């Protein structure tokens, strides 16, 4: 089945998520799964932001800083 779905353009992540459809997951568990997925992708985004920050500004971002910091740095660079 997986090879047929892969031929149709499903990613490995989509294939794994499709396996969950066969389960009758209670709402409480569904919320936990959503939270896990959100946490994973949030960490990935945060790591990407740290990499960009380190390349453009140097050092590590302060905890809780984000997109606004990069915009402010770009604005400072453009005003020079």
The pair of three-digit structure tokens given for residue 18, joined into one six-digit string: 């499709």
Query: How many CB atoms are closer than 10 A to CB 53?
Result: 19
Q: Per-domain residue ranges for the chain?
A: 24-79
Q: In this structure, are residues 46 and 53 in contact, taking their beta carbons and an 8 Å threshold? A: no
How would residue 62 be classed by pLDDT, with cut points 50, 70 and 90? low
Q: What is the pLDDT of residue 48?
A: 92
Q: Which residue has the higher pLDDT, 30 or 65?
A: 30
User: What confidence tens digit (pLDDT) does each residue in 6-57 have?
Assistant: 567 888 888 888 888 888 889 999 899 889 999 999 999 989 988 888 888 8
Q: What is the pLDDT of residue 44?
A: 93
Longest dimension (CA), the chain: 59
User: pLDDT at residue 65 above 60?
Assistant: no
């Amino acid at each position: 089945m997986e090879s047929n779905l892969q031929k149709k353009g499903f990613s490995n992540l989509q294939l794994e998520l499709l396996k969950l459809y066969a389960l009758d997951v209670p709402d409480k568990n569904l919320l936990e799964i959503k939270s896990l997925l959100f946490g994973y992708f949030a960490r990935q985004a945060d790591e990407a932001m740290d990499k960009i920050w380190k390349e453009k500004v140097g050092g590590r971002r302060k905890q809780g800083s984000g997109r606004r910091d990069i915009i402010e740095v770009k604005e400072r660079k453009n005003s020079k």
